[in-house]
A and B are shown apart, each in its own frame.
Chain A
Amino acid sequence: MKQLKMAWLFTATLMVSVFSFAQTADEVIDKHLAAIGGKEKLLTLSSVVMEGTLTVQGMEIPVKLTQVHNKGQRVDISAMGMNGYIIQTATEGWTYMPFQGQTKAEATPAEVVKETSDAQIDAQSILLNYKDKGHAVEFLGKEDVEGTECFKLKVTMKNGLVQTLFFDPSTYFNIKTITKSKASGQEVEQTQTYSNFKKVDEGFTFPFAMTGFGPGELVITKVEVNKPVDESLFKPSN
Chain B
Amino acid sequence: MRKIVFLLSCIVSLQVFSQSKITSATFGMMEARHLGPGTMSGRISAIEGVNSEEGKTLYVGTAGGGVWKTTNAGASFRSIFDKYCQSIGAIAIDQKNPKVVYVGTGESNMRNSVSIGDGLYKSTDAGDNWTKIGLDSTEHIAKIAIDPKNSNTIYVAAPGPLWGDSKHRGLYKSTDAGKTWEKVLYISEKAGCADVALDPSNPDIVYATTWEFRRLPYLFNSGGAGSGIYKSTDAGKTWKELKNGLPPKPFGRVALALAPSAPNNLLAIVESQNTGLYISADGGENWKQQSATLNVISRPFYFSTLVVDPKDAKRVYRPAFTFSYSTDGGYSFTDASNEGGWVHSDHHALWINPNNTNHMYLGTDGGVYLSLDKGGTWIFLLNLPVGQFYHVAADTKEPYNVYGGLQDNGSWVAPSSAPGGVRVGDWKAVYGGDGFWVVPDPSDPNIAYAESQGGDVNRIDLRTIKSMSIKPEQKEGEDKLRWNWNTPIAVGAKNTKNLYVGAQYLYKSTDQGRNWTRISPDLSTNDKKKQEQENSGGLSADNTSAENHCTIFAISESPLDENIIWAGTDDGNLQYTTDGGKTWTNVSKNIAVAGVPAQTWVSSIEPSRFDKNVVYASFDNHMYGDHKTYVGKSSDMGKTWTVFKSDEFSGFAHKVKEDLKNKDLLFIGTEMGLFATVDGGESWFRMKNNVPWYALVRDIQIHPVTNDLIIGTHGRGILVVDDISPMRNLTKDIVDKDVFLFPNKLMVLTTGRFGDGGFPSTGGWVAGNAPSIEPIQYYLKERVNSGDVKIEITDANGKVVQSIPATKRKGVNKISWNQRITPPKVAVSGTKIDQGGFIAPQVLPGEYTLKLKVGNNEYTQKLQVVHDDKSAFTLADRNVQYDAAMKLFRMHEQLAKVVADINDKQKMLKDNMEKVKNAKVKKQLQEYNDKLETLRGELVPTKQKSIFADETRLREDITQVYARICFTEAAPNNLQLDRIKFLQDKVNKADTDNTVLAKQYEEKIKSALVKEGVMEKPKVENKTGGAPVP
A residues with CB within 8 A of B: 3-4, 6-8, 10-11, 14, 55-59, 79-82, 98-101, 103, 140, 144, 146-148, 154, 162, 164, 168, 171, 173, 175, 180, 186-187, 195-198, 208-209, 216-217, 219
Q: Is the CB of B840 within 8 A of A147?
A: no
Instruction: Across the interface, name the chain B residue whose C-beta is closest to A83.
Output: B830
In the bound complex, residues from chain A placing their C-beta under 8 Å from that of B7 are 4, 7-8, 10-11
- Bits for B795-831, please: 1 = Cβ < 8 Å to A, else 0: 0000000111101111100000010111100101111
Instruction: Across the interface, name the chain A residue whose C-beta is closest to B834.
Output: A80
Of A99, A144, A187, the residue contacting B71 (CB under 8 A) is: A187
Instruction: Across the interface, name the chain B residue whose C-beta is closest to A156.
Output: B125
Give the docked Cα–Cα distance between A211 and B102 (Å): 34
Q: Is the CB of B837 within 8 A of A7?
A: no
Whether a CB of chain A sits under 8 angstroms from the CB of B786 is yes
Which of B28, B783, B829 lies at the interface centre, i.e. has the most chain A CB atoms within 10 A of its CB?
B783
Which of A99, A100, A187 lies at the interface centre, i.e. has the most chain B CB atoms within 10 A of its CB?
A187
Of B10, B802, B809, B818, the residue contacting A146 (CB under 8 A) is: B809
For chain B, what secondary structure do more than half of its interface residues adopt (helix, strand, loop), or is it mixed? loop
Given contact pairs A7-B11, A59-B823, A147-B25, enumerate 16 new A-B contacts (beta carbons under 8 Å). A6-B11, A7-B4, A7-B8, A80-B828, A80-B833, A144-B688, A146-B809, A146-B811, A148-B810, A173-B785, A180-B128, A186-B72, A187-B71, A196-B808, A209-B805, A217-B807
Whether a CB of chain A sits under 8 angstroms from the CB of B1012 is no
Whether a CB of chain A sits under 8 angstroms from the CB of B872 is no
Whether a CB of chain A sits under 8 angstroms from the CB of B754 is no
Q: Is the CB of B805 within 8 A of A219?
A: yes
Instruction: Across the interface, name the chain B residue whose C-beta is closest to A218.
Output: B805
Of A58, A103, A168, the residue contacting B785 (CB under 8 A) is: A168
In the bound complex, residues from chain B placing their C-beta under 8 Å from that of A164 are 128
A-B contacts, 9 of them at CB < 8 A, read: A7-B8, A58-B804, A58-B840, A80-B834, A82-B833, A101-B947, A168-B783, A195-B784, A197-B786
Instruction: Across the interface, name the chain A residue whose C-beta is closest to B54.
Output: A185
B residues with CB within 8 A of A: 4, 7-8, 10-11, 14, 25-26, 28, 71-72, 125, 128-129, 688, 782-788, 802-805, 807-811, 818, 820-823, 826, 828-834, 837-840, 903, 945-948
Give the docked Cα–Cα distance between A56 and B125 (Å): 37
Q: Is the CB of B8 within 8 A of A56?
A: no
Given contacts A7-B8, A59-B837, are A80 and B826 in contact (CB under 8 A)? yes
**In angstroms, how far is the closest chain B Cβ from the Cβ of A18?**
13
Task: Enumerate the 6 nearest inter-chain pairs by beta-carbon distance, A residue then B residue, closest first.
Answer: A81-B828, A147-B810, A147-B25, A101-B947, A7-B7, A146-B809
Instruction: Across the interface, name the chain A residue whose C-beta is closest to B804.
Output: A55
Instruction: Across the interface, name the chain B residue whose C-beta is closest to A7.
Output: B7
In the bound complex, residues from chain A placing their C-beta under 8 Å from that of B840 are 57-58
Q: Is the CB of B946 within 8 A of A10?
A: no
**In angstroms, how far is the closest chain A Cβ from the Cβ of B692?**
14
Of B785, B820, B829, the residue contacting A80 (CB under 8 A) is: B829
Of A79, A103, A148, A173, the residue contacting B837 (CB under 8 A) is: A79
Give the docked Cα–Cα distance between A175 and B822 (Å): 30
In the bound complex, residues from chain B placing their C-beta under 8 Å from that of A219 are 788, 805
In the bound complex, residues from chain B placing their C-beta under 8 Å from that of A57 are 818, 820, 823, 838-840
Give the docked Cα–Cα distance between A173 and B786 (Å): 11
Q: Is the CB of B823 within 8 A of A196?
A: no
Q: Is the CB of A4 within 8 A of B785?
A: no
Q: Is the CB of B785 within 8 A of A171?
A: yes
Give the docked Cα–Cα distance between A98 and B830 (Å): 10
**In angstroms, how far is the closest chain B Cβ from the Cβ of A117?**
22
Q: Is the CB of B125 within 8 A of A4?
A: no
**In angstroms, how far is the closest chain A Cβ from the Cβ of B855?**
9
Which of B11, B786, B822, B945 lies at the interface centre, i.e. has the most chain A CB atoms within 10 A of its CB?
B786
In the bound complex, residues from chain B placing their C-beta under 8 Å from that of A81 are 828-830, 903
Give the docked Cα–Cα distance between A217 and B790 (Å): 11
Of B783, B830, B839, the residue contacting A195 (CB under 8 A) is: B783
Q: Is the CB of A55 within 8 A of B805?
A: yes
In the bound complex, residues from chain B placing their C-beta under 8 Å from that of A4 are 4, 7
In the bound complex, residues from chain A placing their C-beta under 8 Å from that of B688 are 144
**In angstroms, how far is the closest chain A Cβ from the Cβ of B2?**
13
**In angstroms, how far is the closest chain A Cβ from the Cβ of B110?**
35
Q: Is the CB of B809 within 8 A of A99?
A: no
Q: Is the CB of B783 within 8 A of A148?
A: yes
Instruction: Across the interface, name the chain A residue whose C-beta is closest to B811.
Output: A147
Q: Is the CB of B811 within 8 A of A154?
A: no
Give the docked Cα–Cα distance between A154 and B129 (Å): 10
In the bound complex, residues from chain B placing their C-beta under 8 Å from that of A197 are 785-786
In the bound complex, residues from chain B placing their C-beta under 8 Å from that of A80 are 826, 828-829, 833-834, 837
Q: Is the CB of A11 within 8 A of B783?
A: no
Give the docked Cα–Cα distance between A69 and B129 (Å): 32
Give the docked Cα–Cα distance between A56 and B822 (Å): 10
Q: Is the CB of B788 within 8 A of A147?
A: no
In the bound complex, residues from chain B placing their C-beta under 8 Å from that of A100 are 947
Q: Is the CB of B788 within 8 A of A209?
A: yes
Give the docked Cα–Cα distance between A100 and B947 (Å): 8
